[in-house]
Amino acid sequence: MAEDSPKRRKANFNEAETEVLIEQVLKHEQLLFAAGPGRASAGQKRKVWELIRHKVNPVAACPRDVEDLKKRWRDLKRRDRSKLCRLSQGCGPPAPPALGLLLAPEELPPASAPPV
């Protein structure tokens, strides 16, 4: 009977999971996302993602696998990029990418006023 029940979705990422994920991905960013002749092999990247998974799971609401973490990272990047795009179309320059990561629009530093 349990086989007929629909698959339940996992809990949303909590703030602690997201913070650990961002911290670890940024720490290993060069290894995970570098292009060119010095880039890491698929096996090396897999090991780094496993390391990140082992760091995230102790603070996770439910066990996460590597695919969950990769998807969350892509979603965070996409959300950040769209926020920066909206800001750049508004009045004032966009915040630097490092500051814009995971900040709500009201948390971003105010755009500097033009000189008078």
The token pair at 69 is: 């973490």
Residue 2 dihedral angles phi and psi, to the nearest 5°: -65, -25
pLDDT tens digits along 40-82: 999 999 999 999 999 999 999 899 999 999 999 999 999 988 8
The token pair at 64 is: 């996460």
90 pLDDT higher than 90? no
- How close are the terminal C-alpha atoms of the chain, in Å? 73
For residue 96, the Cα-to-chain-centroid distance in whole angstroms is 16
The pTM for the full model equals: 0.68
